[in-house]
Amino acid sequence: MSHALHAVYTPHLLSLHREPGGPALVTQHAMPDTRPFLHPLRAPDLAGELTEDAPGHHPWQHGLYVGLHHVNGLDYWSEQWAKHGRGYFHPRPLVAPRLEGRAAAWEVVTDWRDEKGGEVLVETQGWRLEDRGETYALDMNWTLRAIPDVAFGKHPYGGLFLRMPYRKERGGEALDSEGRLNAAAEQQRSKWVAVSLPIEGRDARGQERGDWCGVALLDHPANAEHPAPWRVDGQLGIAPSRCIAGEWKLPAGREAAARYRVLVFAGPAEPARIAREWDAFARS
């Protein structure tokens, strides 16, 4: 493996590679007038894509992304507004990432607007990728700055959301920090949730779950409502969702911030390894 990451960059698309011309480990999308998102996240050994874009059961979901309901009464989740030609998300052009050996850092700044084009929020996603070889981690510093006073309503899901290529016939598991599986983790508070499942294009080589890979989302203890209540849906989509706990408000000019770590690994989830990762993240 190369000792340094390489970037292919435009104002609206960024991909990070271990080798020039090789497959991207992570790809950031920030196209004009659309929701920014990360897809695909590849397996640490590059064999298979661990995220899914616009699945048939939820076509408004895009790999790893942010969405919210009831933001001053507006829906920044389901993209129904896009049918009418009025996008709410307006990413600003990307700037070149900062590359430091096996690490890379970049920002995505997005204006959230209402149906008349008025500014509601400025969102900043600060990302840092650390490539560790057998695993990699994405740290996200998420900031929302209110333009007018903003009220966020209570809802069963919202926030940083992960969509993986779950297929019922192939199976998969969502496991939380308290040992709950799948539907038992829905709407429950936990430090982290990990989803692991079979990934197309991987060779199991006769090993049980040898074709599995996983992604864990870690909630930092400084975040509001930590340990977060979580969305775990019927296709194992997951999100740490402050909005489950109740409504909250952000006065004009003020900011709300949260930190998350995304750990990408091969094989099924190993609770002890993820717990150690959360401990290290919590101390950071």
Q: Tokens at residue 30, please?
A: 């920030």
pLDDT attached to residue 218: 99
Per the CB < 8 A criterion, the answer to whether 205 and 241 are in contact is no
pLDDT attached to residue 84: 61
What would the pLDDT profile of 251-280 be if each residue is shown by its tens digit?
999 999 999 999 999 999 999 999 999 999
Q: What average pLDDT does range 154-175 have in this prediction?
A: 97
pLDDT attached to residue 142: 98
What would the pLDDT profile of 62-98 be if each residue is shown by its tens digit?
999 999 999 999 999 988 776 665 679 999 999 999 9
Which helix (H) or strand (E) segment is 41 a member of? strand 37-41
* Residue 41 β-bridge partners: 26
In single-letter form, the type of residue at position 210 comes to G
Q: How far apart are CA 139 and CA 75, in angstroms?
A: 26
Longest dimension (CA), the chain: 58
Four-residue CA torsion sign, 266, 276, 260, 181: positive
pLDDT over 60 at 27, yes or no: yes
In this prediction, what percent of the chain has a pLDDT beyond 90?
88
Which residues touch 156 (CB under 8 Å, ≥6 apart)?
Answer: 187, 231, 241, 244
Q: Work out the pLDDT band at 46, boundaries 50, 70, 90.
A: very high
pLDDT attached to residue 2: 55
What would the pLDDT profile of 133-157 be if each residue is shown by its tens digit?
999 999 999 999 999 999 999 999 9
pLDDT attached to residue 85: 58
pLDDT attached to residue 82: 65
Q: Exposed (0-12), middle (13-18) or buried (19+): which is 92, by Cβ within 10 Å?
A: middle
Quote helix, strand, coil % in the chain, to nearest 5: 10, 45, 45
What would the pLDDT profile of 104-135 be if each residue is shown by its tens digit?
999 999 999 998 899 999 999 999 999 999 99
CA distances from 18 to 10, 131, 136, 171 (A): 18, 9, 12, 31
Q: Tokens at residue 101, please?
A: 């050996």
Which helix (H) or strand (E) segment is 274 a member of? helix 271-283
Q: What average pLDDT does range 32-43 have in this prediction?
A: 96
Which fold, 6-283? Beta-galactosidase; Chain A, domain 5 (2.70.98)
Average pLDDT of the chain? Answer: 95
pLDDT attached to residue 204: 74
pLDDT over 60 at 1, yes or no: no
Q: Work out the pLDDT band at 222, boundaries 50, 70, 90.
A: very high
Q: How far apart are CA 48 and CA 199, in angstroms?
A: 6
In single-letter form, the type of residue at position 15 comes to S
Q: Which of 76, 97, 130 is nearest to 28 (CA)?
A: 97
Q: Is the peptide bond before 271 cis (omega within 30 degrees of 0)?
A: no
pTM of the model: 0.96
